[in-house]
Structure 1
Amino acid sequence: MVQKGDFICSIDKTELFGRLEDRKLDLEQTRAQYEQIQLDTSLNLRVERDNILNQKYIVQEQELILEQSQFEPPAIIKQNEYNVEKAIRELDQAQERYRIKTLQEKARMMEIAAKLREDELEVSQMVEVLDKFVVTAPQDGMVIYVDYRGSKVKEGSQINSWNPVVATLPDLTTMQSITYINEVDIRR
């Protein structure tokens, strides 16, 4: 007979503890990768932004040179115009490179963030399952341990994952009894 909340049995946790520790290590590794990718992303994008800024200065410098060369021979003016066009083209390329890099880094961050969420979820599910390894009585009653292949569940018994029932608490208010009586004793 048990009261509500009384201990019924405990299932061996050693195998799940090993898996949980492995998952926790994987989670820490994923967190480290996440932080590393964040740092790499900010550094990569900073380099690209600096490159764009430098390219803007080069464009301004080439435009100033072109402006100052208006009294130079036509060949030098043409050369300076080409230099301005080339600087503008390089600025456009740097801006496009920055846009693509931003998309790449965003994709990398989303990928590692998804892996991090997956690992966190897996660890939390394992911790949640660990709490269910201790079976307590949900209500007052009489514990009836389940019969597996002719023997009752006892310490050291293997539990089938397809049928994880260890014990039942029957409703004692309505019972059905199957009784076997010898023919000789039926009249009594």
Structure 2
Amino acid sequence: MLNKVSKRNQLIIGISALCLIAFFIFKPSAIVNSGKTVDVKEGPFTMEVEATGEIQALKYEEISIPPLLKNRKLRIWGLKITDLVAEGTQVKKGDYVATLDPADVEDRLKKSMEKVDEYQLAFDNAALDSTIALVAFRDQIINASDDILEKEIKVEQSKFESKAIQRQTAIELELAQLELSRKKRTLSKEQNRHKVKINRANKRLQDALKLQNELTELVAQLKITSPSNGMVVYARGWGGHKVKVNSDVGPWSPTIAIIPDLSTLVSEAIVKEIDIAKVKVGQKVKIGIDAFPDDNFKGEVIRIANIGQPISGTGMNGFKVLIQINAKEKKILPSMTTTNMITVADYPSELILPREAIFGNDTIKYVFKKTSGLPIKTYVKTGGENETKMRIIEGISENETVLLTRPNKFE
């Protein structure tokens, strides 16, 4: 009997122990205190839009392809750059900058010279044919004129003949005069026909000569020189890629490089389309330049593009934003990359929480409010965010405490 009671007590003791362990594991205070917390506080809050960019000059002088290469009549749509001075090279007006591949131009020049020879021969033949043909027609007119003189003499002599003979000689004279008029008209027509033929041949010849001269001049212009003193900065071609050796330039993409005015440097940033509505002219900007990692620069938005452009590799559009930059006497140069934090809103005192304390998605956000029991899932309305914090408009009050991590169980 004692053994049975002893076993029963042992069972009761075991069950009690398990219940006690479960109580300590699952009691509400354990859930509440299992994570870090933060108190809701008021404080200054700044909303910023981040945009990467590049230093560019508002004013610059272009180093372009030769003007003759822009002539579409030459039908040269692109030439490769075979040599180009290093970017950043300081040049003076007239200094060498680049060389364009002459192969295509020289090939067209050779063909144009062949055309000149062909059209010269055609012109000479047209002139010779005209001379021969018109001489024959002029001889016919001379003969017709002599025939009229003979007929006039006959008419004069027929005064002493019968009326019939007089009438016959008069008719013969009239016919001779008509024949002369016909031959003169024929000569005039032939003169006009040969004139048109010669002019057409001469026009082809002159056009070919002009093309030959332009191509000859273009060959001499394929060594590109600087139009002014300054620093060479490579231009950007199709797709925003920098022009370099082996790049194609032509009438549709004429700029090889630029000579920037270093007193007009700005940060040219690309703002994503989802953020562009927040950006306004005059907003302040904090600028970081990769070349000066220990320096922070100040700037201001001065221009916003009206039309967006695709951002490579993102599947979305972006808008160019120009930011005036205070260089702080640093030697800032074109093409340096920048990080631009545009201040789009600045509040002196707002309820704020760390970003990690707020859960949910773009449309629904909530926090886990700490209480004496289980944490309470509380929906909140936010009004903007920055890199570390979110602004709280409604849902919780100052000095309330929320969890920084999602609890395993909550009500």
Q: TM-score range by the shorter chain?
A: 0.7 to 0.9
Query: Which structure carries more strand by proportion?
Result: 2
Amino acid at match of 2:252: W
Match of 1:96 among 185, 191, 194: 185
Report deviation, 1:75: 4.9
In 2, are the aligned partners of 1:8 and 1:135 still within 8 Å (CA)? Answer: yes
CA distance in 2, matches of 1:133, 1:21: 17
SS across alignment from 2:224: strand
| Corresponding residue for residue 23 of structure 1 | 112
Deviation digits for residues 82-131 of structure 1, max 9, x if unmatched?
Answer: 32222222111111112222222222233223323322332233233333
Map 1:109-148 → 2, pairs under 5 A:
109-147=198-236
| Corresponding residue for residue 49 of structure 1 | 138
Bigger shift: residues 2-11 or 156-165: 156-165
| Corresponding residue for residue 179 of structure 1 | 289
In 2, are the aligned partners of 1:56 and 1:91 still within 8 Å (CA)? Answer: yes
SS across alignment from 2:227: coil
Deviation digits for residues 136-174 of structure 1, max 9, x if unmatched?
Answer: 122232222335568654433333642222222223455
| Corresponding residue for residue 61 of structure 1 | 150
In 2, are the aligned partners of 1:141 and 1:172 still within 8 Å (CA)? Answer: no
CA distance in 2, matches of 1:186, 1:49: 94
CA distance in 2, matches of 1:107, 1:128: 31
CA distance in 1, matches of 2:192, 2:236: 60
SS across alignment from 2:248: coil
Deviation digits for residues 32-80 of structure 1, max 9, x if unmatched?
Answer: 2222222222222222221111111111122323434455565554443
CA separation of 1:76 and 1:34: change in aligned 2, threshold 3 A: same
SS across alignment from 1:166: strand
CA separation of 1:186 and 1:93: change in aligned 2, threshold 3 A: closer
In 2, are the aligned partners of 1:146 and 1:165 still within 8 Å (CA)? Answer: yes
- Larger RCO of the pair (alpha carbons < 8 Å, separation 6+): 1
Match of 1:163 among 253, 258, 264: 253
CA separation of 1:80 and 1:186: change in aligned 2, threshold 3 A: closer
| Corresponding residue for residue 100 of structure 2 | 11
SS across alignment from 1:169: strand
Amino acid at match of 1:54: N
Report deviation, 1:176: 4.6
CA distance in 1, matches of 2:229, 2:125: 54
SS across alignment from 1:61: helix
CA distance in 2, matches of 1:92, 1:126: 51
5+ residue gaps, structure 1: none
Number of aligned residue pairs: give it: 185
Amino acid at match of 1:81: A
Structure 1 runs (4+) deviating above 6 angstroms are none
| Corresponding residue for residue 34 of structure 2 | none
Amino acid at match of 1:84: L
In 2, are the aligned partners of 1:6 and 1:136 still within 8 Å (CA)? Answer: yes
SS across alignment from 2:231: coil
The CA RMSD measured in Å over matched residues stands at: 2.9
CA separation of 1:158 and 1:96: change in aligned 2, threshold 3 A: closer
Bigger shift: residues 101-110 or 10-19: 101-110
CA separation of 1:26 and 1:69: change in aligned 2, threshold 3 A: same
CA distance in 2, matches of 1:127, 1:98: 42
* Alignment TM-score, normalising by the size of structure 2: 0.40
Amino acid at match of 1:156: N
